[in-house]
Amino acid sequence: MRLLYFAWVRERVGKTDEDISPPADVRTVAELMEWLAGRGEEYAYAFENRKVIRAAIDRNHVRPDTAIAGAREIAFFPPMTGG
Amino acid sequence: MRLLYFAWVRERVGKTDEDISPPADVRTVAELMEWLAGRGEEYAYAFENRKVIRAAIDRNHVRPDTAIAGAREIAFFPPMTGG
Amino acid sequence: MNATIRLQREDFDAAAESAKLSRGRTDIGALVTFTGICRDNESGHGVAAMTLEHYPGMAEEEITRHVKDAQARWPLMGVTVIHRYGRMTPGDNIVLVVTASAHREAAFEAANYLMDFLKTKAPFWKLEERPDGKNWVDAKSADDEAAQRWRT
Amino acid sequence: MNATIRLQREDFDAAAESAKLSRGRTDIGALVTFTGICRDNESGHGVAAMTLEHYPGMAEEEITRHVKDAQARWPLMGVTVIHRYGRMTPGDNIVLVVTASAHREAAFEAANYLMDFLKTKAPFWKLEERPDGKNWVDAKSADDEAAQRWRT
C-alpha cells in the first residue's frame, strides 16, 4: 500500500510518500502508526504524539480504529488548517 | 406638526405629506391615528386597520402609546419590506 | 472603521464596492458580500417589476444606527451598505452589504444582522407589479423572527 | 445546480466568479460571496507569508462532498468554491465561496457551512513565516466548535 505524508508529518518523516508492506498483524490505522513509529528515528519523531495525527484511507477521513485491509492509499497529516 | 405618509397609507390618504394642528386632547400616536381616521373617507380607509400601521416621530420608530408632544415630523406607514 | 452608507436610484457595482473595503490592507482576513437581487417570482406568482419607496432621511439614519450597532457587536474593519430605490426589474440589484473583519465569524454575522434589520426596520416598501396588478408586498413574519434572534 | 470547485495556485477574481453565478438569471434573490484573505497578523504575531499545502485529489473530493451536502440542506441555485495553494503574502486571496439562492438565509447559511468545513475537514495545511521562523499553524478548537453546530 501507498503511504502519503503531509505538513509536519511529512517534514519529520522526510518524504512525501512511500510504498510499504506491513506485517499481517497490523490491522488498524492506530496499529499502522505504532508499527511506523518503530521504523527509525524520523518515524518515531513523526509519530511520537499519535493522538493528534489524522488519517485518510483512499481519500476519506477515518478514525484510528479503522481497518486498513484493502486500502490502496493511506495518508497521515496534522489537523487541517485550510480556509 | 408635519405628517408624512408612505406606501399604501400614502395611496389611501391621497397625499405624501401635510401640516396639521390636532386638538390638545390628542396626546399619543394612537390618539392621533384615531383623530386622523375621523377627518374624512380617505383617512377612515387609510387608518381602518390601525394595528398594522407603524409610526416614526422625528425619524425614530415609536409605539402607539408614545406621546406626540414636541414632535416636528410624524410618519405613518405599513410594516417595512426593504432589503 | 470604514463605513459607507448610500441610498441611490442608480445601480451599484458590488465588486468595486467590496474591493474598495479591502484594497491596500493586510489586516483583513474575511470579506463577506451580500447582494439582494430582484426576482421574477415571489411565493409562486410572477413579478414583472418592483418599485421601492423609501423615507428619505429616516432610511439613512436607521441604517446608520444599525451599522453602529454592528460595529459595537463585532470587530469590523469596514462596512458598506447600499440600498436602491425606484423601479427595478428581475435580475436588477436591490441591496448590497459588505463587511470586512480579521475573522470570518464577525464578517458573516455582521452581514446577516444588517440584512435582518434592513428587512424589518429600514423604512422601505416594495410595490410589486404582478400579472393581476400592483400589490404592496406584505411583511414576512419569518423576517421578524430572524431579526428577533439578535435581541440578546 | 451550478457548481464550480477549483483548487489552483493562481489568484482568483471574486467579482467575476460571483457575476458568473448570477448573470442572465432572474430567479436568484440572494448572492453571498465570502473571500478569505491572508493577514499580516495572527494572534498577535506578525506573518510575512504563508504557504498552503494540500492533498491533491482528496481536497477536491472532500470539497465536492460538502458542496453536495450544502445542496441537499438548502435550496441553492449555484455554488462556487475556489481554494488556492502555494505561497501567499498578506493581502493575497486564499479562498472563495459564493452561494446563490432565491432567499438570503439559504445563501448565508450555505456559505457559512462551507467555510466551517473548509476550515476543519478539507485537507489543507498552513505554514506561516513569522519573525521567529516557520511554523505550522495549529488547528483552532473554535473552528471545530463552529463545524459541530451543523451536526444535527
Alpha-carbon torsion angle C35, C41, C46, C51, nearest 10: -30
Is A52 within the bounds of a domain? yes
Q: What is the ipTM of this complex?
A: 0.93
What is the average pLDDT across D92-121?
A: 96
**Cβ under 8 Å to C: D residues 5-64:** 14-16, 18-19, 22, 24-41
For B53-76, how does the pLDDT look when each residue is reduced to its tens digit (9 = 90+)? 999 999 999 999 999 999 999 999
E strand or H helix that includes residue C149: none
C95 chain-D contacts, CB cut-off 8 A: none
Residue D141, pLDDT score: 83
* E-only strand ranges, chain A: 2-5, 17-19, 54-57, 60-62, 73-77
Does residue A76 belong to any structural domain of this protein?
Answer: no
Give the domain range for residue B36: 25-62
What average pLDDT does this structure show over C55-60? Answer: 97
D25/chain C closest Cα distance in angstroms: 6
In a domain, D130, yes or no: yes
Taking a C-beta distance cutoff of 8 angstroms, is the pair B30, B50 a contact?
Answer: yes
- Answer whether A touches B (≥3 Cβ pairs < 8 Å): no
Residue B57 inside a domain? The answer is yes
Residue C87 has pLDDT above 80, yes or no: yes
Q: Could you say which of C14, C104, C115 has the minimum Cβ distance to residue D104?
A: C115
Tell me whether residue A13 is in a domain: no
Q: Is residue B81 part of a domain?
A: no
Closest-CA distance, C34 to chain D, in angstroms, reads 5
Q: Are D22 and D2 in contact (CB under 8 A)?
A: no
Q: Per the domain annotation, does D152 fall within a domain? A: no
Which amino acid belongs to residue D101? S
Tell me which residue in C35, C107, C108 faces D31 most closely, judged by beta carbons: C35
Rounded Cα distance, C130 and C138, in Å: 14
Is C152 within a domain? no
Domain count of the fold of chain B:
1
* pLDDT tens for each residue of B33-57: 999 999 999 999 999 999 999 999 9
Sign of CA dihedral C96, C97, C103, C109: negative
**CATH number, domain at D10?**
3.90.1170.40
Axis-axis angle for helices C104-120, C141-148 (nearest 10):
140
Domain count, chain D: 1
Residue D152 — very low, low, confident or very high, per pLDDT cuts 50/70/90?
A: low
The whole-number average pLDDT for the span D13-32 is 94
Classify residue A72 by its DSSP letter. Answer: S
Report the distance separating Cα D59 and Cα A68, nearest Å.
Answer: 21
Integer Cα distance of D20 and C145 in angstroms: 32
Task: State whether D124 and A83 contact (CB < 8 Å).
Answer: yes
User: Measured between alpha carbons, how far is C121 from C114 in angstroms, rounded to an integer?
Assistant: 10
User: Among partner residues C15, C26, C39, which is closest to D102 by beta-carbon distance?
Assistant: C39
Evaluate whether A71 touches A1 at the Cβ level (below 8 Å).
Answer: yes
Question: What subunits touch chain D, counting only 3 or more CB pairs under 8 A?
Answer: A, C
Query: What pTM did the predictor assign?
Result: 0.94
Question: Does residue C15 sit in helix, strand or coil?
Answer: helix
Considering CB atoms only, which of D28, D37, D115 is closest to C22? D37
Range of the domain at D135: 2-147
Helix (H) or strand (E) holding C136: strand C133-136
CA dist., res. C117 & res. C81, Å (int): 12
Which three three-digit cell numbers place residue D90? 498578506
Cβ partners under 8 Å of residue D74, min gap 6:
D99, D101, D106, D107, D109, D110
Model confidence over C63-82: pLDDT tens digits?
A: 999 999 999 999 999 999 99
The crossing angle, in degrees rounded to 10, of helices D104-120 and D58-73 is 150
E runs forming strands in C38-123: 41-42, 45-46, 49-54, 76-84, 86-88, 93-101
What is the average pLDDT value for chain D, to the nearest integer? 95
Residue D25 is predicted with a pLDDT of 94
A80/D119 Cβ within 8 A: yes
**Nearest residue of chain D to residue A73 (CA atoms):** D58
Q: Is the pLDDT of residue C50 over 80?
A: yes
| Phi, psi for A57 (deg, rounded to 5) | -110, 125
Assigned domain for A8 exists: no
Please give the span between the terminal C-alpha atoms of chain C, in angstroms, as a whole number: 24
Please report whether residue A35 resides in a domain: yes
**Per-residue pLDDT tens over the stretch A11-55:** 999 999 999 999 999 999 999 999 999 999 999 999 999 999 999
Q: How many helices (DSSP H) and strands (DSSP E) are in chain A?
A: 3, 5
Q: What is the pLDDT of residue C65?
A: 96
